[in-house]
Structure 1
Amino acid sequence: MKLVVGLGNPGKEYEKTRHNIGFMVIDKLSDKLKVYDFKEKFNGLLGEANYKGEKVLLLKPQTYMNLSGNSIIQVINFYKLNVEEDLIVVYDDMSLPLGKLRIREKGSAGGHNGIKSIISHMGDKFLRVKFGIGQSQDKDKIVDFVIGRFSKEEEEEVSKVLVHTSDIIMGMLDGVSLDRLMQICNKK
């Protein structure tokens, strides 16, 4: 069983913002996996698919970013999942240029509050897919930047990379080696 989590904030006001890129990836994955029924469970929206004989759970925590770990740990504990082997977390990363992807198996939070919350609940060894959103030009307006929407020009790039990101995660579900997937990400 795999649990794929997209980080974001609940509510219409946060839809399609930089900080909700994880939710957007989950939406692309739900199309690929034909998951159209998300239920309110574990302080999140949880969808379930059967992919090549394995159960795949898709989760959008509804706890707000800073408490994402609260939702995820409930799912981990309920299904008795192995954090290092079964969890994939997708989230926005300001340290990467717009549209750049990085895969990591462990590490620090890098200032991301959602990742800080997850680490506080289950340690730093879990698979991450970081989606670059670029950096704010004004360091005093970082919050406005991350909860801001993409420009029309950026939306085109984001749309392409959302498909690419969902393809990368499907590769993970297919058992493609992380080394190979990292090579693919580094080319984009």
Structure 2
Amino acid sequence: MIYRNVVSAVVRALAAETISSAGGCDFEPKVQCAKQKGEIVGKEAAFLTDCWVFGRLHKSLSAEHWRVLVAKFSTHSERKHVAIAELTRVVQSPAPERFLHCAVVTWALPRLPGVDGKRSTNVLPSGWYEMDNWSNVPHPIKTQERWRREIRKVLEREVDEALVSAQALLDAEGLIGTQAA
């Protein structure tokens, strides 16, 4: 399987973890079954590649890069929440701790289109997206916007660095398609 780009590879790999009913990349039973029937093809082959990419990225990327990719792109709620909590501890900001936490959470779980963002299982109540709720002490709106902007800038820079590392890894494996324009 060849991925269109690094983002689609990362998203598919992180989603593969939640596809099976066992809650993980259960490629071993598929491989055992294929040994009995022949070659693995189609959806099973794509799923195995996704599972392999998941494992390869998890093992090869730095903990910081893996954490930010999980927080941004994962569909596994528990892992996503753990990654968000870890990011909250490592991101530096002059903002109060609660504000920082809310900024990271709303970055990782952005408001989605639709009625109250109900197009996804990972949605927050609308109050989460109101910055005035992010601190018990009132701060000027410009200060809050600056804090949020700087926090998001740091997180997006980390995502970009993680995607560059993932791109290099997947390019070396020949998993990213290159099309002449």
TM over 0.5: no
Q: Which has the higher strand share?
A: 1
Normalising by structure 2, report the TM-score.
Answer: 0.30
CA radius of gyration, larger in: 2
Normalising by structure 1, report the TM-score.
Answer: 0.29
Q: Which has the higher helix share?
A: 2
